[in-house]
Amino acid sequence: MSALDQVGSISRPSLHEELTDRLRSMIVEGVLTAGEKVPERALCEKLGVSRTPMREALKVLASDGLLTLEPNRGARVRAITVQELEEVFPLMGAFESLAGELACAQISDAQIKELKRVHEKMLTRYEASDMPGYFKHNQRIHELIMEAAGNRTLITMYNSLAVRVRQARYLANMSAERWKQAVDEHESIIQALEARDGKALSAILKKHLENKFAAVRQWIEDQEP
């Protein structure tokens, strides 16, 4: 075995890949807001690239459901509709549920420890009423469970939905009760994981998401009376 075998090949992501990632972030972070036109030319100039890779990126994001391409009329940021949200949540529920079962079957002690660590941090943020901080750790916990499930296809599909839900920031608003409830649910999640009780965790995660959805739905109904 030569010393060179240790050296990994350098990966230089192509322009269109960087662009897809960049644009995806811009959409999720709300720099490009829902319904907004995506002016090809302007974006190209802003980011200093030509139209070819930009258009390639737009096609990919459209196939991911983040944009709509109206022929000869360009791209628009696709706003997730209430109807779509009602479609997406059961799916995410199924994903989380599956992830829970898979995770319990093979999660390591180290992974559980890490989860508890993040969970504790999240609690601190909750007690400090720091919602953004809370969400950050909250998201990380769900990511860790997905990772523990050890199914890359599952992660990919889950993320593609999560992105679209996150894009519509229904979640920024949460009542005090709902927040308390969510924290309690997370407590049970950790417990089920420690016990490696797949069925229980699966059910809790599904319920957790259903409650989240109920809160979102409530929020929507309050918004558009």
The residues that touch DNA, with contacts defined as CB under 7 A, are 14-16, 37-42, 49-53, 55, 69, 71-75
User: Between residues 48 and 225, which has the closer beta carbon with respect to DNA?
Assistant: 48
Residue with tokens 């319990």: 104
User: Between residues 51 and 169, which has the closer beta carbon with respect to DNA?
Assistant: 51
User: Between residues 161 and 163, which has the closer beta carbon with respect to a copy of itself?
Assistant: 161
Question: Judging by DSSP bridges, how do beta strands 37-38 and 67-70 pair with one another?
Answer: unpaired
Instruction: Provide DSSP, 65-111.
Output: TSEEEETTTEEEEPPPPHHHHHHHHHHHHHHHHHHHHHHHHH--HHH
CB of 13 to DNA, least distance (A): 8
Q: Which does 30 bind (CB under 5 to 8 A by kind): a copy of itself, DNA, none?
A: none
CB of 74 to a copy of itself, least distance (A): 12
Buried-exposed string 124-150: b where 16+ CB fall within 10 A, e elsewhere = ebbeeeebeebbebbebbbebbbbbbe
CB of 123 to DNA, least distance (A): 44
CB count in 10 Å sphere of residue 48: 6
User: Between residues 41 and 152, which has the closer beta carbon with respect to DNA?
Assistant: 41
- How many angstroms separate the CA atoms of 219 and 127, rounded? 23
CB of 125 to a copy of itself, least distance (A): 31
- How many angstroms separate the CA atoms of 114 and 193, rounded? 12
- How many angstroms separate the CA atoms of 220 and 188, rounded? 28
For residues 117 and 141, is the Cβ–Cβ distance under 8 A? no
Q: Which does 41 bind (CB under 5 to 8 A by kind): a copy of itself, DNA, none?
A: DNA
CB of 71 to DNA, least distance (A): 5
User: Between residues 72 and 223, which has the closer beta carbon with respect to DNA?
Assistant: 72
- How many angstroms separate the CA atoms of 170 and 203, rounded? 24
The residues that touch a copy of itself, with contacts defined as CB under 8 A, are 11-14, 16, 20, 52, 55-57, 59-60, 63-64, 69, 71, 84, 87-88, 90-91, 94-95, 97-98, 102, 151-154, 157, 161
Q: Which does 88 bind (CB under 5 to 8 A by kind): DNA, a copy of itself, none?
A: a copy of itself
Q: Which does 64 bind (CB under 5 to 8 A by kind): DNA, a copy of itself, none?
A: a copy of itself
- How many angstroms separate the CA atoms of 174 and 184, rounded? 15
Locate 194 and state its tokens.
């420690």
CB of 168 to DNA, least distance (A): 23
